[in-house]
Amino acid sequence: MRNALTLFSSTDCVLCHRVRLVLAAKGVTYDLIPVDPQNPPEDLVDLNPYHSVPTLVERDLVLYAASVVSEYLDERYPHPPLMPVDPLSRARLRLAMLRLEHDWVPQVQAIQMGNKVQAEAARKRLKELLTASVPLFKASKFFLNPEMSLADCAMAPIIWRLPSLDVPLPKDAKAIEDYGNRIFRNPGFSRSLTDQERKLRDMPM
């Protein structure tokens, strides 16, 4: 029997991983269709005018863009909630996720897909972003929130990839390492990983 949800997803992509982590946190089952972004399948081409991943299909509904898909899933499957109740906290988390998409994700993508010069510049920039964010990781158990949220689903895939991206954490960034380990030890995180992503680093004990 097919699941109600189908997710078109790359096997190593921070944006796709973000959506898979939301699905895992919600305990939602779905059919996963692995996609090579350079050679998208005809089904995806027909469904999404941008041919991009992640793309979520639920019956006649087709959604794309990780932020749109993530917020839809949080509202469609309200337990456990992955956004705070009060509007101010929700707005802060949305701004944080916007910054991740505009500032952090392009660095990861440049390291993975850029040339040597682009990759080195992106490593330097990503390390600067991590260093500047240490106080935020120290401030609360999860990213800008006392409970796990959609912001963690966006941040954790980046932290998971740091060793494979050859981006060592700064010496004073134990708070980031501790944060990552809290997320990675959650059984839902393991369920969110593709076989390819599982090989990127060792799971903490």
Residues that are catalytic: 13
3-state secondary structure of 162: helix
Does the CA dihedral 162-165-167-168 come out positive or negative?
Answer: positive
Label residues 1-18 b or e (16+ Cβ within 10 Å = b). Answer: eeeebbbbbbbbbbbbbb
CA dihedral (189, 192, 196, 201) in degrees, to 10, reads -10
Q: Give me the DSSP letters along 103-145.
A: IIHHHHHHHHHS-HHHHHHHHHHHHHHHHHHHHHHHHSSBTTB
